Amino acid sequence: MATQFEIPGKVRLGEGIGGLRRLEITTEHAFAEIYLHGAHVAQFAVRRQTVGSGYEPVLFLSARSHFADGKPIRGGVPVIFPWFGPREGHPEAPMHGFARTRSWELETVTEQPDGAIAVVLRLEPSDATRALWPEPARASHSPEWVLRHRITVGAALTMELEIQNNGPAPLRCEEALHTYFCVSDVRQISVTGLEGAEYLDKADGMRRKRQPLEPIRFTQETDRTYVNTTSHCEIDDPGLNRRILIEKHGSGGTVVWNPWVAKAQAMADFGDDEWPFMVCVETGNMADNALEIAPASAQITKTVIRTVRR
């Protein structure tokens, strides 16, 4: 057990579900669980204002999720890289890339002056990733790319995904912080911030459409990739008497997803009746906003998630 990553009373490194290594973080304001598998924030819950009344989950985590090598966790915040959705021209490739199913290295765990805990995890190419996503061969042995995921647990959940290109050529990729939010009932909430934005409607043959000048409401399966939008979003949830603020930086795309009835039934790792209680609002760069990172430079995609009472 690597105790240098532990902070008594605040950070514990141990075995989570399925025997996967997991950090449990408790601060003055919040509780979080981070799996090294996928650098995956599985839980983030904020302390309730009334003394002794526990935590209020902000993220949705399916009771049917897998917790196993090679399989993504269903809920929390999967890290999507280096492609979003199915890989174009490679039907055999895993959906949403490989970052969410690899075990990441824990680099640092530090306490910030304000009591928040910052965790940095790192993923580098391996034979397994090169088999899926070959990059041009390089003369030196240094990795072609390095991913660093910096997660800060405080009153807000801050996630910064950095992609460093160490290769000799531009690195073309897509990525996302595929956040699953916990909601009272998806049919009663609305999502603002995407009014007037253009989107690809995956639930309607990838047709290109434009969001009317009104919030998104959910009345059926919704699977939309909004493009060329740098706006922050907000989930208004009257049932939980809260708004979730989703701030983003370095991101041109936002994906909004709820599987509804039939898709929920088709997913083995998602309960048939769980769909009303989640919505994904995903910060990233995909489709029209796919990245091309120049040699010797880096891209950072950042999202900050906080809740406020309505």
| Distance of alpha carbon 247 from alpha carbon 252, whole angstroms | 12
> Is residue 257 a contact point for ligand BG6 (CB under 6 A)?
yes
> Is residue 72 a contact point for ligand BG6 (CB under 6 A)?
yes
**115 strand-pairing partners:** none
Residue with tokens 């397994």: 128
Nearer to ligand BG6, 152 or 303 (CB): 303
Give Cβ neighbours of residue 89 (< 8 Å, ≥ 6 apart). none
The least distance separating ligand BG6 from the CB of residue 85, rounded to whole angstroms, comes to 6
| Other beta carbons within 10 Å of 28 | 11
Nearer to ligand BG6, 266 or 294 (CB): 266
Nearer to ligand BG6, 63 or 95 (CB): 95
The pair phi, psi for residue 132, each rounded to 5°, is -90, -30
Q: What part of residues 176-215 is at the interface with ligand BG6 (CB under 6 A)?
A: 178, 202
* Closest by CA position to 240, among listed 153, 308, 154: 308
240, 255, 287, 305: residue in contact with ligand BG6 (rule CB under 6 A): 255
> Is residue 223 a contact point for ligand BG6 (CB under 6 A)?
yes
**Helix H or strand E encompassing 153:** strand 145-153
Active site residues: 178, 282
The least distance separating ligand BG6 from the CB of residue 282, rounded to whole angstroms, comes to 6
Give Cβ neighbours of residue 62 (< 8 Å, ≥ 6 apart). 74, 75, 269, 270, 271, 274
Helix (H, G, I), strand (E, B) or coil at 264: helix
Nearer to ligand BG6, 26 or 265 (CB): 265
The least distance separating ligand BG6 from the CB of residue 101, rounded to whole angstroms, comes to 10
> Is residue 274 a contact point for ligand BG6 (CB under 6 A)?
no
126 with 101: CB under 8 angstroms?
Answer: no
Q: Which spans of this chain sit near ligand BG6 (rule: CB under 6 A)?
A: 72, 85, 95-96, 178, 202, 223, 255, 257, 280, 282
